[in-house]
Amino acid sequence: MTPSTQIGPRVFAIVPAAGQSHRMGRAKQLLDCGGRPMLFAVLEPLMAADVGGVALVTNRSIVERIDLIEAGGPCLRTWVGESENDTFIVYNDDPSSEMIDSVRIGLSAWDARESISPHDGFLVCPADHPDIPTSDFNQCIKAFIDNPNRIVIATRDGRRGHPIILPAELMTFVESPACDGGLNALRQAFPDRVLQVATVSAAVTRDIDTPDDYEALP
């Protein structure tokens, strides 16, 4: 784990997981993925990566329903609270919000929790990208630490995916109307700062939006 007292660039993770899953027709966060809810399949490898912690941005309904699924197993709030790094839940209960709103909530939560340096970074991985291996997260994190002024984007076979790591100095841009359409605005506004990192896992570019996407999971 990367302790919060580390000298040099640090990376803090944000998992936006408050979406209503309209195209799926049911909450993607709760879908079975390898015997556990998909949200766990995103969080588990990320929490084991070299991050200073994970801000899970979700809504109260998801937390309550996961706890029902996991009856007799780990309560999400307890499981998150017992993690070895600084992992915590932040709530976004606005059903009309977009993913960028949850990202902004995560940024604000980290800014209130840590003394953020402009050379630190924020790793964003949505809750519909399950089973990205810890090694791929760490590969992107290392690329950012070696180049803390770059916008790191994971790729596979030339396709861009997740995670994305943005320098903390770009928080103001992400919070501005220029980024209302989503984090793709970063790549468009700062093309010379983009650093694409080739990874090996198909999960990097496999987001689960529709029932067909879910049925195609290995």
pLDDT for residue 74: 58
Specify the DSSP class assigned to residue 169.
Answer: G
The whole-number pLDDT of residue 64 equals 85
Class of CATH domain 11-208: alpha beta
What's the pLDDT at 86? 84
All residues at 6 or more sequence positions from 21 whose CB lies less than 8 Å from its CB, including other chains: 27, 28, 29
| Sign of the alpha-carbon dihedral angle for 76, 82, 83, 88 | positive
Cβ proximity of 50 and 136 under 8 Å: no
Q: What is the pLDDT of residue 27?
A: 79
Q: Residue 145's closest CA among 165, 130, 124, 162?
A: 165
Q: How far apart are CA 121 and CA 91, in angstroms?
A: 22
pLDDT by position in tens, the chain (length 218): 444 445 679 999 999 998 777 777 677 888 888 888 889 999 999 999 999 999 999 999 888 888 776 555 556 776 676 666 788 999 999 988 999 999 999 999 999 999 999 999 999 999 989 999 999 999 999 999 999 999 999 999 999 999 999 999 999 999 999 999 999 999 999 999 999 999 999 999 998 888 888 888 87
Domain spans, the chain: 11-208
Q: Please tell me whether residue 33 adopts helix, strand or coil conformation.
A: strand
Sequence-ordered alpha helix ranges (H) in 10-125: 38-47, 60-69, 76-81, 99-113
Question: Which residue reads 């980024």 in tokens?
Answer: 179
Q: Give pTM, 2 decimals.
A: 0.90
